[in-house]
Amino acid sequence: MKFESHHNTPFPWLTWAFFLAALIGLNASCSDYNKIMKSTDLDYKYQRALGFLDSNKCYGALPILEEVVSLTRGTEQAREVQYHRAEAHRCVGDYYLARYHFKMFAKTFPNDERSEEAQFEAAMCSYLLSPKPALDQTETEAAIAELQLFLDRYPGSALRDSSQSLIALLRDKLELKSYETARLYHKTSQYQSAVIALQNALKEFPDSPYREEMQWLILDSHFQYASQSTERRKLERYNDTIEAFLTFVARFPDSKSINDAQMIQNQCVSEIDRLQSNQTFE
């Protein structure tokens, strides 16, 4: 039977040679791994697992380390194996289990020289589990708490600056989440909720880079809410808008939105005059 090349190569057999070499290599690799797993030599298995870990072949290291952990409990070797198992879980991206095992290591072996590092690695796993700002930020808050706990336990740690930097990044994420949630209330015309959410965001993050935008949205939300209110409630709510205007111009006198703010103020004054005039004639 004659094999024809689809690549017009003068050496079609090279394609088959490479394919066969790759297949043989894969089979050899699987055969070697099966040999490791079936071995009864605990030290040999452990050293091979470390070799996989050092080569960043984490998925190869993890099953071996899990087995070695179960066979070394209560021995001098246990702490070494358990620490490397936590590293392997982190390496494969299983941050939940990595966090758990790093915490257990620090709790089980508090006097080990790696206990401090294990505590930091556990907090680091929480940091890596922190989702995008648009999602629920429970993990972000947990990560901040764990990193702060690490700083409290190890105030002189060489990892102090790294921990503080991570906390700052996580707080930035919470800040953005708070801002975007409040802004969404305004965007969806839930103006009363927008005012509450924006005020809470400013209270929690007074130095937020979004504070000018949030203060403007508070003003506009008050105005939109007043405009949509019944005649009976408008006077009170236009007055609330004027207070929001005075706060905005006092804090951001050079804002790019100052002209729009002044227009809102003028409309509020006009509406208040109209409402008070109507009350006079009633």
- What is residue 35's predicted lDDT score, i.e. its pLDDT? 85
Which DSSP letter does residue 3 get?
P
Q: Are 99 and 150 in contact (CB under 8 A)?
A: no
- What is residue 193's predicted lDDT score, i.e. its pLDDT? 97
At residue 29 the predicted structure's pLDDT band, cuts being 50, 70 and 90, is: low
- What is residue 8's predicted lDDT score, i.e. its pLDDT? 43
At residue 280 the predicted structure's pLDDT band, cuts being 50, 70 and 90, is: low
Which DSSP letter does residue 209 get?
T
Cα torsion angle, 107, 108, 113, 114, sign: negative
Q: What structural domains and CATH numbers belong to the chain? A: 38-122 (1.25.40.10)
At residue 278 the predicted structure's pLDDT band, cuts being 50, 70 and 90, is: confident
- The mean per-residue pLDDT over the stretch 253-262 comes to 96
- What is residue 36's predicted lDDT score, i.e. its pLDDT? 84
- What is residue 21's predicted lDDT score, i.e. its pLDDT? 40
Q: Kindly report the pTM of this predicted structure.
A: 0.77
The predicted-structure confidence for 160-175, as pLDDT tens digits, reads as follows 999 999 999 999 999 9
The predicted-structure confidence for 78-125, as pLDDT tens digits, reads as follows 999 999 999 999 999 999 999 999 999 999 999 999 999 999 999 999
Query: What is the residue-averaged pLDDT of the chain?
Result: 88
Share of the chain above pLDDT 70, in %: 88
On the question of pLDDT at 207 being above 60, the answer is: yes
Residue type present at position 267: Q
The predicted-structure confidence for 214-227, as pLDDT tens digits, reads as follows 999 999 999 999 99
Q: Are 45 and 64 in contact (CB under 8 A)?
A: yes
Residue type present at position 13: W
The predicted-structure confidence for 63-83, as pLDDT tens digits, reads as follows 999 999 999 988 889 999 999
Q: Lowest mean pLDDT: which of 31-40, 50-59, 208-217? A: 31-40
- What is residue 34's predicted lDDT score, i.e. its pLDDT? 84
- What is residue 159's predicted lDDT score, i.e. its pLDDT? 96
- What is the number of helices (H) and of strands (E) in the chain? 12, 0
Residue type present at position 228: Q
- Residue 46 CA to residue 37 CA, distance in Å, equals 10
Residue type present at position 26: L
